[in-house]
Structure 1
Amino acid sequence: MIDEPDELNQDGDDFYAFLNIPRNANDEEISNAYRRLSRMYHPDKHTDPQRKKEAEILFSKTKKAYEALRDPHLRAIYDNLGTAGLETQGWEIVQRTKTPQEIRAEYEQLARDREERRIQHRTNPKSSITMNINATELFNSYDDESPYYDLRDLVGLPHIEISGMSINQSIEAPLTTRDTAIFSGNLSSQNGTGHGGVNCCVRRVLSEKGWGEIEFGAGNGVNLSLKGFRNFSRGFFGNGSIIGHFTPTGVRLGTVATLANQLDKHTVGYLTWKTGMQSGMSTMIIRDTSKSHIVCSLYFGIPHTYCALSFTRKLPERETKFKITGKAGTFGAILEYGAERKVSRHSSLGATMSIGVPTGVILKIRLHRATQTYATSILLCEELLPAPVIYGTVIPIVGWLALQKLIIQPYLKQQKQKELQKQREANRSRLYEKRQEAKAAIELMKETVKRIVDQEEANKGLVILQAIYGRLIGENSEELDEKDPSNDVIEVTIPLQCLVKDSKLLLQESSKCQLPGFYDPCPGEGKFLRVRYLFRAVIHQVTIKDEEPLRIPKHSSTRRLEIKMYINFVNV
Structure 2
Amino acid sequence: MAASLEDDFEFNNQDYYSLLNVRKEATTEELKASYRRLCMLYHPDKHRDLELKRQAEQLFNQVHQAYEVLSDAHSRAIYDIFGKKGLEVEGWEVVERKRTPAEIREEYERLQREREERRLQQRTNPKGTISVGVDATDLFDRYEEDFEEMPGGGFPHIEINKMHISQSIEAPLTNSDTAVLSGSLSTHNGNGGGNINMTIRRVMSAKGWGEVEFGAGDILGPLIGFKVFRNLTPRCFLTAQCGLQFSPRGLRPTCSLMTARHLDQNTMGYLQWRWGPNSAMTTSLVRDTKSSHFTLALQLGVPHSYLMMSYQYKFQDEDQTKVKGSVKTGWFGTVVEYGAERKISRHSVLSATVSMGVPQGVTLKIKLARASQTYLFPIHLTDQLLPSAVFYATAGPLLVYMVVHRLIIIPYTQAQKEQELELQRKSSATDIAKKKQEAESAVLLMQESVRRIIEAEESKMGLIILNAWYGKFVSDTSQKQEKAKVIDVTVPLQCLVKDSKLILTEASKAGLPGFYDPCVGEEKSLKLLYQFRGVMHQVISADTDPLRIPKQSHRIESES
Is the pair's TM-score, using the shorter chain for normalization, greater than 0.5?
Answer: yes
Does the C-alpha gap of structure 1 residues 188 and 491 become closer, same or farther in structure 2, counting only changes over 3 Å?
Answer: same
Aligned partner of 2:533 in structure 1 is 536
Aligned partner of 2:329 in structure 1 is 328
Q: CA RMSD in A?
A: 4.1
Counterpart code for 1:129? S
Aligned partner of 2:192 in structure 1 is 196
- Which shifted more, 417-426 or 230-239? 230-239
Aligned partner of 1:337 in structure 2 is 338
- For structure 1, the 5+ residue unaligned runs are 1-5, 93-109, 565-572
Aligned partner of 1:103 in structure 2 is none
The answer to whether 1:310 aligns with 2:306 is no
Report deviation, 1:430: 2.6
Whether the aligned pair in 2 keeps the contact of 1:136 and 1:379 (CA below 8 Å) is no
Aligned partner of 1:218 in structure 2 is 218
Structure 2 SS opposite 1:519: coil
* Equivalent-residue separation in structure 1 for 2:11 and 2:180 (angstroms): 44
Whether the aligned pair in 2 keeps the contact of 1:537 and 1:563 (CA below 8 Å) is no
TM-score, normalising length from structure 2?
0.77
Structure 2 SS opposite 1:354: strand
The answer to whether 1:272 aligns with 2:274 is yes
Matches within 5 A, 1:149-548: 159-169=156-166, 184-190=183-189, 194-200=190-196, 215-219=215-219, 223=221, 227-229=225-227, 234=232, 235-241=237-243, 243=245, 245-246=247-248, 251=249, 256-264=254-262, 266-275=268-277, 281-285=280-284, 287=286, 289=288, 291=290, 292=293, 294-302=295-303, 305-313=305-313, 319-344=320-345, 346-473=347-474, 479=476, 481-482=478-479, 484=481, 488-548=485-545
Counterpart code for 1:384? L
The one-character-per-residue Cα deviations of 1:492-539 (angstroms, maximum 9, x if unpaired) are 111112222232211111111121211111222221111111223332
Report deviation, 1:12: 2.1
Aligned partner of 2:102 in structure 1 is none
Identity over aligned pairs, percent:
36
* Equivalent-residue separation in structure 2 for 1:458 and 1:52 (angstroms): 31
Aligned partner of 1:562 in structure 2 is 558
Does the C-alpha gap of structure 1 residues 142 and 456 become closer, same or farther in structure 2, counting only changes over 3 Å?
Answer: farther
Whether the aligned pair in 2 keeps the contact of 1:448 and 1:498 (CA below 8 Å) is yes
Partner residue of 1:128 out of 127, 130, 142: 130
Structure 2 SS opposite 1:520: coil
Aligned partner of 1:569 in structure 2 is none
- For structure 2, the 5+ residue unaligned runs are 1-6, 94-115
Counterpart code for 1:46? H
Structure 2 SS opposite 1:18: helix
Does the C-alpha gap of structure 1 residues 301 and 492 become closer, same or farther in structure 2, counting only changes over 3 Å?
Answer: same
Does the C-alpha gap of structure 1 residues 231 and 339 become closer, same or farther in structure 2, counting only changes over 3 Å?
Answer: same
* Equivalent-residue separation in structure 1 for 2:272 and 2:460 (angstroms): 78
* Equivalent-residue separation in structure 2 for 1:233 and 1:82 (angstroms): 33
Whether the aligned pair in 1 keeps the contact of 2:137 and 2:383 (CA below 8 Å) is no
Whether the aligned pair in 2 keeps the contact of 1:211 and 1:230 (CA below 8 Å) is yes
- Which shifted more, 480-489 or 522-531? 480-489
Structure 2 SS opposite 1:144: coil
Aligned partner of 1:117 in structure 2 is 123
Does the C-alpha gap of structure 1 residues 480 and 562 become closer, same or farther in structure 2, counting only changes over 3 Å?
Answer: farther
Does the C-alpha gap of structure 1 residues 467 and 182 become closer, same or farther in structure 2, counting only changes over 3 Å?
Answer: closer
Matches within 5 A, 1:23-172: 23-80=24-81, 82-84=83-85, 91=92, 117-118=123-124, 120=125, 126-137=128-139, 139=140, 143-145=144-146, 159-169=156-166
Whether the aligned pair in 2 keeps the contact of 1:213 and 1:227 (CA below 8 Å) is yes
Structure 1 SS opposite 2:92: coil
Report deviation, 1:491: 0.4
Counterpart code for 2:43? H
* Equivalent-residue separation in structure 2 for 1:207 and 1:451 (angstroms): 66
- Which shifted more, 433-442 or 318-327? 318-327
* Equivalent-residue separation in structure 2 for 1:481 and 1:297 (angstroms): 63
- Which shifted more, 334-343 or 519-528? 334-343
Whether the aligned pair in 2 keeps the contact of 1:185 and 1:196 (CA below 8 Å) is no
Does the C-alpha gap of structure 1 residues 423 and 227 become closer, same or farther in structure 2, counting only changes over 3 Å?
Answer: closer
* Equivalent-residue separation in structure 1 for 2:173 and 2:123 (angstroms): 19
Whether the aligned pair in 1 keeps the contact of 2:464 and 2:531 (CA below 8 Å) is yes
The one-character-per-residue Cα deviations of 1:294-344 (angstroms, maximum 9, x if unpaired) are 250324434x64332334456697545443221123332110112333445
Report deviation, 1:84: 4.9
Report deviation, 1:354: 0.6
* Equivalent-residue separation in structure 1 for 2:272 and 2:260 (angstroms): 9
Aligned partner of 2:15 in structure 1 is 14
Report deviation, 1:468: 0.5
- Mark the structure with the bigger radius of gyration: 1
Counterpart code for 1:128? I
The one-character-per-residue Cα deviations of 1:463-511 (angstroms, maximum 9, x if unpaired) are 21211001224xxxx7485465895110011111222223221111111
Structure 1 SS opposite 2:123: helix
Counterpart code for 1:269? L
Counterpart code for 1:408? I
Structure 1 SS opposite 2:218: strand
- Count of aligned residue pairs for this structure pair: 515
* Equivalent-residue separation in structure 2 for 1:175 and 1:458 (angstroms): 71
* Equivalent-residue separation in structure 1 for 2:458 and 2:431 (angstroms): 38
* Equivalent-residue separation in structure 1 for 2:414 and 2:382 (angstroms): 40
Counterpart code for 1:45? K
Report deviation, 1:271: 2.0
* Equivalent-residue separation in structure 1 for 2:90 and 2:256 (angstroms): 55
Does the C-alpha gap of structure 1 residues 488 and 180 become closer, same or farther in structure 2, counting only changes over 3 Å?
Answer: closer
* Equivalent-residue separation in structure 2 for 1:202 and 1:89 (angstroms): 37
Structure 1 SS opposite 2:156: coil
Aligned partner of 1:570 in structure 2 is none
Report deviation, 1:170: 5.0
Whether the aligned pair in 1 keeps the contact of 2:121 and 2:173 (CA below 8 Å) is no
* Equivalent-residue separation in structure 2 for 1:174 and 1:315 (angstroms): 37
* Equivalent-residue separation in structure 1 for 2:492 and 2:211 (angstroms): 68
Structure 2 SS opposite 1:551: strand
* Equivalent-residue separation in structure 2 for 1:71 and 1:210 (angstroms): 43
Report deviation, 1:365: 0.4
Whether the aligned pair in 2 keeps the contact of 1:269 and 1:286 (CA below 8 Å) is no
Structure 2 SS opposite 1:22: coil
Counterpart code for 2:26? A
* Equivalent-residue separation in structure 2 for 1:313 and 1:238 (angstroms): 32
Does the C-alpha gap of structure 1 residues 225 and 170 become closer, same or farther in structure 2, counting only changes over 3 Å?
Answer: same
Report deviation, 1:167: 2.9
Report deviation, 1:367: 1.9
Does the C-alpha gap of structure 1 residues 140 and 541 become closer, same or farther in structure 2, counting only changes over 3 Å?
Answer: farther
* Equivalent-residue separation in structure 2 for 1:14 and 1:215 (angstroms): 53
Does the C-alpha gap of structure 1 residues 517 and 196 become closer, same or farther in structure 2, counting only changes over 3 Å?
Answer: same
Counterpart code for 1:412? T
Whether the aligned pair in 1 keeps the contact of 2:12 and 2:431 (CA below 8 Å) is no
* Equivalent-residue separation in structure 2 for 1:468 and 1:435 (angstroms): 15
